[in-house]
Amino acid sequence: MMTLEKFEDATEVVKRVTSSTKLVYSDYLSEQTGGRVFLKPENMQHTGAYKLRGAYYKISTLTEEERSRGLITASAGNHAQGVAYAANAFGCKATIVMPTVTPLIKVNRTKSYGAEVILYGDVYDDACEYATKLAEEKGYTFVHPFDDLDVATGQGTIAMEIVQELPTVDYILVPVGGGGLISGVSTLAKMLNPKIKVVGVEPIEAASMSAALEAGEVVELETANTIADGTAVKAVGKNVFPYVKENVDDMLLVEDDELIGAFLDMVENHKMVVENSGLLSVAALKQLDCRGKKVVCVLSGGNMDVITMSSIVQHGLIQRDRIFSVSVLLPDKPGELVRVAATIAEEQGNVIKLEHNQFVSTNRNAAVELRITMEAFGTEHKHRILEALERKGFRPKHISAKLY
């Protein structure tokens, strides 16, 4: 069982390897919501995520014999690095089975902590099945990513730190994947102060915990397809589910598009990189009545490769009308392009890409197509630019923006 005594022990144990992730007050989010919003930046842990807490505490509870056999787990990212780092700290061997599609940067980082990495299967479930098989064949000790009460106890130390720093917290928002994090956080939070409301947040396309709570038992989704890959779990843990059922006050669902906006908010207002799964708590704020409340959003991780990051930024800028594209038809004669550019410049728009297509019509004197991609300050500014082009007779047609 998860007990207060174990949580207190875990809190002291994990201090050996974790960074002090002090709460960060967010002026921006507080102004947006009317509450006092704080961020718990677990993305700033040495391994880039909270997973180190559970992995290290779990390993600390093992016997010398269990550790000496070697550890094994399956993960595509954060748990892999947490186990690898923790195992290295205890001086024991770790084998991590990762899906073959795992980005190279995550594979190399896991190896850098001294673990042996085996690439197997296309998805986590394949890797987990193979890791379990290896554990049975070779006698390794298996460290589950989320469905283990000692692992969940280690994750729950986050709640101890939150309450110690902000005793009057009203809401704690927690990203939910398999349930290890929220089971630990919610159980300890209720032990420390039953008045604290703990709210879980899932991507709408991978809402396995919401489905389990509705059914009253763990169920398996057909798919879990979301950009919040760290929480793309088809079925939550059976061992941790009873704790979630008892201690979590509500579950909220978030669309992938909302995570894109939340990423921009974090980068621009807090200069922090937070992975999509870690942003679930921030994206859900608009669904909560935060007025006059103290709210803590757990940012569960920040491990995101640069290619994904650049894609998220591009889509976010387009989503918020900071970048947009239009098509205009012009007579094919000198000076027309200058007129368009001057009109955009007068409204302080910034052209970043031009495509000139002379073959849109068989009659080039009648029309050639000009596709313009430009920067704006937002939706209002975008409309001003479009209205200015209309007044000059260009009849702009809004088209899908692409930067490549």
CB 372 within 8 A of CB 353: yes
Domain identity same for 59 and 46: no
Domain identity same for 234 and 276: yes
Domain identity same for 286 and 214: yes
Domain identity same for 351 and 292: no
Give the best-scoring range by mean pLDDT among 98-102, 189-193, 333-337: 189-193
Domain identity same for 175 and 248: yes
* The pLDDT of residue 74: 93
Q: Where is the domain boundary, 142, 168, 183?
A: 142
User: Mean of the pLDDT values across residues 189-199?
Assistant: 98
Is residue 300 flagged as an active site residue? yes
pTM: 0.89
* The pLDDT of residue 332: 78
In a domain, 404, yes or no: no
pLDDT tier for residue 360 given thresholds of 50, 70 and 90: low
Residue 26 to residues 19, 87, 150, 296: CA-CA distances in angstroms? 20, 35, 32, 10
Domain identity same for 169 and 275: yes
Domain identity same for 9 and 155: yes
Look up residue 209 and give its two tokens. Answer: 């915990």
Give the whole-angstrom CA distance, residue 51 versus residue 180. 10
Mean pLDDT of the chain: 93
Q: Where is the domain boundary, 93, 112, 142?
A: 142
Q: Of the given ranges (17-21, 192-196, 240-244, 332-336), which has the lowest mean pLDDT?
A: 332-336
Domain identity same for 346 and 300: no
CB 80 within 8 A of CB 108: no
Q: Where is the domain boundary, 115, 142, 169?
A: 142
> Using one digit for the tens of pLDDT, what is the confidence trace for 97-136?
998 888 787 889 999 999 999 999 887 778 889 999 999 9
User: Mean of the pLDDT values across residues 322-341?
Assistant: 88
* The pLDDT of residue 163: 98
CATH code: domain of residue 345: 3.30.70.260
At 363, phi and psi to the nearest 5? Answer: -105, 90
The catalytic position among 6, 26, 40, 51 is 51
The catalytic position among 183, 208, 300, 325 is 300
Is residue 51 flagged as an active site residue? yes
> Using one digit for the tens of pLDDT, what is the confidence trace for 18-31?
998 999 999 999 99
CB 146 within 8 A of CB 49: no
CATH code: domain of residue 297: 3.40.50.1100
Q: Is the pLDDT of residue 138 over 80?
A: yes
pLDDT tier for residue 366 given thresholds of 50, 70 and 90: low
CB 189 within 8 A of CB 248: no
Domain identity same for 185 and 273: yes
Domain identity same for 239 and 157: yes
Range of the domain at 87: 55-142
Domain identity same for 270 and 183: yes
> Using one digit for the tens of pLDDT, what is the confidence trace for 162-183?
999 999 999 999 999 999 999 9
* The pLDDT of residue 362: 54
As for how many domains the chain has, the answer is: 3
Give the whole-angstrom CA distance, residue 190 versus residue 202. 21
What share of the chain in percent tops pLDDT 90? 77
Domain identity same for 172 and 281: yes
- Which amino acid type is present at position 77? G
